[in-house]
Amino acid sequence: MFKGSGYSITLLLLFIIVAMSGDRVFAPPTPQASPVKRQISPYVEISPFDHHFRAASDSLFGWDWKLLAAIAFTESRFDSTAQSEAGARGVMQVMPRTLRGTGVPDSLFMNPRSNIMAAATLLRELNHVYRRIKAPDERLSFILASYNAGAGHINDAMRLAQKYGRNRYKWEHNVDTFLTLKSRPEYYTDSLCRNGELKDWRQTIQFVKKVRRTWNRYRKMQDRYSDSIYTILQSDSTAELMRI
């Protein structure tokens, strides 16, 4: 009798516990929430147009996208509405004839993507023009100078440099010197000069220096940013790199 009563009491208590707990007694264990992965871009942010710079670089000739950004900063300070007195348009300050030559309609001259892609196409063509300059870093100076002043003036200066015993394939203290002399009649009237006087030679010389200086700064920024990402990935297993 005593044992039976104890058994009945135990069942009653168990029934009360189940009734009060509801579904929680039979519910499966709550799974542990997986850590949220933080996605980190591998690129330092330079401008609102970085994705266009990367796309232009990757799809056309594979140069460092930060070089395109450096050109844009030097040309327009990343102002997509900029227009020079000479008629250059957009963030990359591309001339209308160049834009039309790359298939950009007039209505899209100021469009950042179209403007950047047109500039990249021009740079690719200039890279081919100066293909005989084997050292890439040296060739870059000629490309940048031509981007600013036009290949005609740079080619004139190369011919003058060769005439006066300088190296036509070297920029500093060679071709750049004769570019400055294209403001003087005794030089720009030489039969070797096919493009006449260059009044704004100072702008071209400074453009090459400024783009290089800005590009070098951007590369240093990227290096420091990459180092910090590496530190995060080493210490935090929830972070992962995101290609954008």
* CB distance 143 to 123 below 8 Å: yes
**Active-site annotation holds for 75:** yes
Q: Which of 75, 85, 138, 240 is catalytic?
A: 75
Catalytic annotation, residues: 75
